[in-house]
Structure 1
Amino acid sequence: MAGASELGTGPGAAGGDGDDSLYPIAVLIDELRNEDVQLRLNSIKKLSTIALALGVERTRSELLPFLTDTIYDEDEVLLALAEQLGNFTGLVGGPDFAHCLLPPLENLATVEETVVRDKAVESLRQISQEHTPVALEAYFVPLVKRLASGDWFTSRTSACGLFSVCYPRASNAVKAEIRQQFRSLCSDDTPMVRRAAASKLGEFAKVLELDSVKSEIVPLFTSLASDEQDSVRLLAVEACVSIAQLLSQDDLETLVMPTLRQAAEDKSWRVRYMVADRFSELQKAMGPKITLNDLIPAFQNLLKDCEAEVRAAAAHKVKELGENLPIEDRETIIMNQILPYIKCPEVRLNIISNLDCVNEVIGIRQLSQSLLPAIVELAEDAKWRVRLAIIEYMPLLAGQLGVEFFDEKLNSLCMAWLVDHVYAIREAATNNLMKLVQKFGTEWAQNTIVPKVLVMANDPNYLHRMTTLFCINALSEACGQEITTKQMLPIVLKMAGDQVANVRFNVAKSLQKIGPILDTNALQGEVKPVLQKLGQDEDMDVKYFAQEAISGTSVSVAWRY
């Protein structure tokens, strides 16, 4: 570290007979030595103000050397420093002196904390653009070489992010050196370095000459895609998109597809997941011919993968896959080569949840006929959570398929769920009916739903009789006063005499629920006597809920008149 007197911390530095212009850096030094991390952080955040006060010469000769030698702080402070230095070119005298910022950033690019290194690399990439070609080879490329050959993996991982920004403006001789160093990092002994290289492979490929892409980048891609670490292999898949965009169809078929096929069948589900997740981008990069011959079969396997995460990722890409297919082949491919492979519940549910999007691609008539067996199968799935999921999508299906198709094919399913042995299913089915009435209207409800619900009031199973009351509670508001009064209320009143106490106290709760919808005459003449009778019931719960209903706002107000 520079001596204290050089940095303005000696006698007179902060006043007296000394030069007052030295004061800002003295304050900075004191603050950076303070035990309070927040104070140190604040001092770093005002570095630009301090640099302005010092001027460009003293910033270069005093401030930057001091910062270069002071890389020992908390990660939060170092992160702020790395970010500040990326915008410092103007404060050191402009592009001609941008290289002065490299030493402190080089140090920051070697620290242990990843976010600090990443920010330092980001700032270095930004500053590299401000170097002239001569300065780039004189200062920046040597920095990259030092990082790439560093003893610690931290410096080598940072180097991976810098090759692509210095390569385009380097001389041919230096370009060859840069490519050689990148190749070395792709085969580094440390997996973290190979991961970093794999993550930057596609970016580096974009700035290389086509011959170098074919002769050097493709072999690196093949090697990384076969790495012993799946975390490296999956990043190679990501690079495949960028590489594929640079090559001809013939080169793709011979140089890239064998490796991509291997990745789609990789033993690690994380690699297969990456193929599924990047499938739309791969499809666009590979083109329609390779998509039909190679990618569609791979996609079929991903849709029926043994891992749920892979199947779900593939299902998310069905819409985009369809949109990217040639229009003349789109419907045939989806109907014959995609939908038949949708066997797993979570994949089918994903298709159904995006039905409006898929509908746009192939049309609802074809889609409904293809999906109907899947919908029916899911509706009767042994796992109640699958049944629950399909219920939640039923209003979406209703809106897409229309009332006629719904009544013909799906109405019976909705009614069957009302008597499911799992309470959560019965509850969801009740809410589903309310949403369907809101979608199709009260006339449809009166003719199609309400009669079937009310028949359940005579079911031998008391749980099903209670479901009738729950349905009435949910449907009354959507159906309105007339239907509630004329069709639903008589059934509720009749059930007040049920021999099961649970049914009777739910009658009281239902009367309280539908009370606001009924007119005063119905409340006075029909509801009041029944609640009064229930209020004298031998069961304490029935009596309690009846009294609660009697004191309910809508009922008590109506009874005052």
Structure 2
Amino acid sequence: MARDSADDSLYPIAVLIDELRNEDVQLRLNSIKKLSTIALALGVERTKSELIPFLTDTIYDEDEVLLALAEQLGNFTPLVGGKEHVHCLLPPLESLATVEETIVRDKAVESLRTIAEEHSPQDLEDHFVPMVKRLTGGDWFTSRTSACGLYACCYARVSAPVKAELRALFRNLCQDDTPMVRRAASSKLGEFAKVVEVDNLKTDLVPLFVNLAQDEQDSVRLLAVEACISIAGILQHEDKEQLVMPTLRQCVEDKSWRVRFMVADRFTDLQTAVGKEITKTDLVPSFQNLLKDCEAEVRAAAAHKMKDFCLALDKSIQEEVIMTHLLPCVKELVTDANQHVKSAMASVIMGLSPILGKNNTIEHLLPLFLSQLKDECPEVRLNIISNLDCVNEVIGIQQLSQSLLPAIVELAEDSKWRVRLAIIEYMPLLAGQLGVEFFNEKLNSLCMSWLIDQVYAIREAAANNLKKLVEKFGTEWAQQTVIPKVIAMSKDQNYLHRMTCLFCIDVLGEACGADITERLLLPTVLGMATDSVANVRFNVAKTLQHIIAVLPSSAQQAQVKPCLDKLNNDSDFDVRYYASEAAMAF
């Protein structure tokens, strides 16, 4: 853009105007993203007097540009002269908080909440609160929904009369004719409750909570559950019982499954908020109802909370509540018709073992574990396998080997590869608990069979499994049990198995140390350098690159380097590439 000296003082604004009028959205977006640079060039006074008013009057652009502007303005305080001038940022953000696009409004509210903290108490009353009032009284629901998120950030630092006015205005939002506004108010009620004085909470906000929890729209009622957690966490025991629990009981039995789902999903938070005494008298029956709910989504959400709910119970009643009230529900959920419910139960049922102890686990839980290990749903079996260590600690390895091991061996050959993968990942822990003798007898052949699995992920995991087993059982065990079978794979007719041999050597080198690697593993790798398959040859180069750090320098120079030099002249491009990469280690 051409310009003369007379226009020099206006140049940054002029450029910005030109760019924001450009048809290219990306150019306008880039202009907004460099606002801080423009503000620095203008200086504080011109930013306040020219840039901010210009931005306020230019709220008409695409949502992407407006979003970037809302984000930028939240960090503008230093550019307008610091906290004493931060209120000049309110007009453009107020305009952005009224636009139609939700994501823009949310970002504007986020920036307003940020700069609210930088207002002095007096500036809050003189500038911020009047803006909140304007948004609250706006004709369009968009401004009123944005207003809901601004009460908590300014309430604590204003005078008592202004606080009373804010509570009255928030009441209007909770009673708004538009469901979207009531929904926003319901979502922010809990946050507002945390900053309101306890007496005012009981007189002003609790009635609002009760009304919102009975709203005709289930989207409003389910958000009231969040408010319930905050309010119950603040009130004393007797107030919780009188003011909160009647409404919470209604939510547990709400006609909408979405509300009941929200209660189930946040149940342990509610448990913490109401305390152990109310949990014993009220929440245990409520939890039973949710576990028996007619909707699978609700049962699954409640099942997910089983372990945490039981752990948080008073120690003196833990076993009694589980055995008398919850275990019958658990037995039903283990065979539930819905796989998501069974899966949710399988992910937490093991966690009940440490609470119930050895005898109860063997008598009541072990049959459930075994039935779930044989469930037709792979995810159910996976969740049981992944949490076996909880049971090991309680019932001991003898019981595990007798009851669970046959099922584990069966799963190790499961047709679903993810189930086999989960078993492999659990194997080092299981091996450590079973001991080397038992492992060699029952599981060693299984571990080796995974090395020739048809699924690559299984072969890779099996190789890493061998490394962990060597680290657990020692190098002598490796020489006797693992290495001979790995070396034998180097002669296998299937080139994929020969590659798996290299993968094993790759990971075993570090675990076995320099002596075994040089004596047993290195000759095998070098012998495969002339393999007829190029994929095998370039994996030889990759393996040498990895084990070279383990080998003594004499072996590196005398054996590894000549092999890499030969591979560097290979007819295949990939082989030459990986050989040159490996040679760089010298």
8 Å contact from structure 1 (residues 303, 347) kept in 2? no
Q: Go from structure 1 to structure 2 and tell me whether the alpha carbon gap of 1:397 and 1:240 turns closer, same or farther (over 3 Å shift).
A: closer
**Which of 295, 313, 329 is the equivalent residue of 1:341?**
329
Deviates more, 1:205-214 or 1:350-359: 350-359
Task: Tell me if structure 2 keeps the 8 A contact 1:319–1:361.
Answer: no
Give per-residue Cα distances to partners, 1:139-182, cap 9 Å, x unaligned.
22221111111111111100001112222233333322222221
Residue 370 in 1 paired to residue 358 in 2?
no
Q: CA deviation at 1:275?
A: 1.2
Contact 1:417 1:425 in 2 (8 A): no
In 2, Cα distance between the equivalents of 1:223 and 1:339?
Answer: 36
Residue number among 234, 238, 244 corresponding to 2:222 in the alignment = 234
Change in CA separation of 1:125 and 1:296 when aligned onto 2, cut-off 3 Å: same
Asked if the contact 2:378/2:416 (under 8 Å) is kept, the reply is: no
Query: 2:241 matched to 1:247?
Result: no
Structure-2 separation of matches of 1:101 and 1:113: 20
Q: Distance in 2 between matches of 1:393 and 1:131?
A: 51
User: Is 1:207 matched with 2:201?
Assistant: no
Residues 503-534 of structure 1: per-residue CA shift (max 9 Å, x gap): xxxxx99xx89x98xxxxxxxxxxxxxxxxxx
For 2:152 and 2:420, locate their aligned partners in 1 and report how far apart those are by CA, in whole Å: 58
2:3 maps to what in 1?
Answer: 14
- Counterparts of 1:70 and 1:374, CA distance in 2: 65
Match runs of 1:148-547 below 5 Å: 148-342=136-330, 343-345=332-334, 349-354=343-348, 357-379=351-373, 381=375, 383-385=376-378, 388-389=381-382, 392-393=385-386, 396=389, 399-400=392-393, 401-414=395-408, 440-441=434-435, 443-445=437-439
SS at structure 2 position matched to 1:226: coil
Q: Distance in 2 between matches of 1:144 and 1:161?
A: 10
Q: Could you say what secondary structure the match of 1:245 adopts?
A: helix
After TM superposition, give the deviation of residue 45 of structure 1 in Å. 1.9
Name the larger-Rg structure. Answer: 1
Aligned to 1:142: 130
CA distance in 1, matches of 2:276, 2:391: 34
1:327 partner SS: coil
Aligned residues: 475
Note the C-alpha offset of 1:109: 0.2
Tell me the CA shift for residue 230 of structure 1. Answer: 1.4
CA contact (8 A) 1:391 1:432 kept: no
Q: Is the 8 A contact 1:277 1:314 kept in 2?
A: yes
Q: Which amino acid aligns with 1:367?
A: T
State the alpha-carbon separation in 2 of the partners of residues 246 and 33 from structure 1.
Answer: 52
| Counterpart-to-counterpart distance in 2, 1:58 and 1:368 | 77
Alpha-carbon distance in 2 for matches of 1:140, 1:433 = 57
Structure 2 counterpart of 1:243, which letter?
A: I
Tell me the TM-score normalized by structure 1.
Answer: 0.72
1:14 is paired with a residue of what secondary structure?
Answer: coil
Deviations 1:525-553 (A, max 9, x none): xxxxxxxxxxxxxxxxxxxxxxxxxxx99
When residues 330 and 171 of structure 1 are mapped into structure 2, their CA distance, relative to the original with a 3 A threshold, is same
* Counterpart-to-counterpart distance in 1, 2:113 and 2:426: 58
The percent identity for this pair of structures is: 57
Deviation at 1:216, TM superposition (A): 1.7
For residues 190 and 313 of structure 2, the distance between their equivalents in structure 1, rounded to whole angstroms, comes to 25
Please give the alpha-carbon distance, in whole angstroms, between the structure 1 residues aligned to 2:283 and 2:322.
13
The residue that corresponds to 1:467 in the other structure is: none
- Counterpart Cα distance in 2 of 1:50 and 1:44: 9
For the residues of structure 1 that align with 2:353 and 2:114, how far apart are their CA atoms?
A: 45
For the pair 1:37 / 2:25, whether they are aligned, the reply is: yes
Aligned amino acid, residue 297 of structure 1: P
Q: How far 1:267 sits from its partner (Å)?
A: 2.1
Is residue 392–residue 400 contact of structure 2 (8 Å, CA) maintained in 1?
Answer: no
Q: 1:185 aligns to what SS in structure 2?
A: helix
Partner of 2:472: none
Q: Contact 1:388/1:428 (CA < 8 Å) preserved in 2? A: no
Q: Structure 1 306/57 Cα, relative in aligned 2: closer, same or farther at 3 Å? A: same
Gap regions ≥5 residues in structure 1: 1-8, 453-473, 489-507, 517-551, 554-561
Query: 1:45–1:84: 8 Å Cα contact kept in structure 2?
Result: yes
Instruction: Please report the RMSD computed on the Cα atoms of aligned residues, expressed in angstroms.
Output: 4.3
Cα distance in structure 1, aligned partners of 2:423 and 2:85: 72
Contact 1:78 1:108 (8 Å CA) reproduced = yes
Kindly indicate whether the alpha-carbon contact (under 8 Å) linking 2:374 and 2:381 is maintained by their aligned counterparts in 1: no
Q: Residue type of the partner of 1:79?
A: L
Moved more, 344-353 or 140-149: 344-353
Bigger drift between 118-127 and 63-72 goes to 118-127
In the alignment, which of 81, 93, 97 is matched to residue 81 of structure 2? 93
Q: TM-score, normalised by structure 2?
A: 0.70
Tell me, what secondary structure is at the counterpart of 1:402? Answer: helix
> Partners of 1:234 and 1:295 in 2: how far apart?
18
Distance 2:308 2:293 in 1: 19
The answer to whether the Cα contact below 8 Å between 2:378 and 2:419 also exists between their aligned partners in 1 is no
Secondary structure in structure 2 of the residue aligned to 1:227: coil
Deviations 1:282-329, CA, capped at 9 Å, x for gaps: 111111110100011111222232333322322332332233222333
Query: What corresponds to 1:77 in structure 2?
Result: 65
* C-alpha displacement of 1:104: 0.6
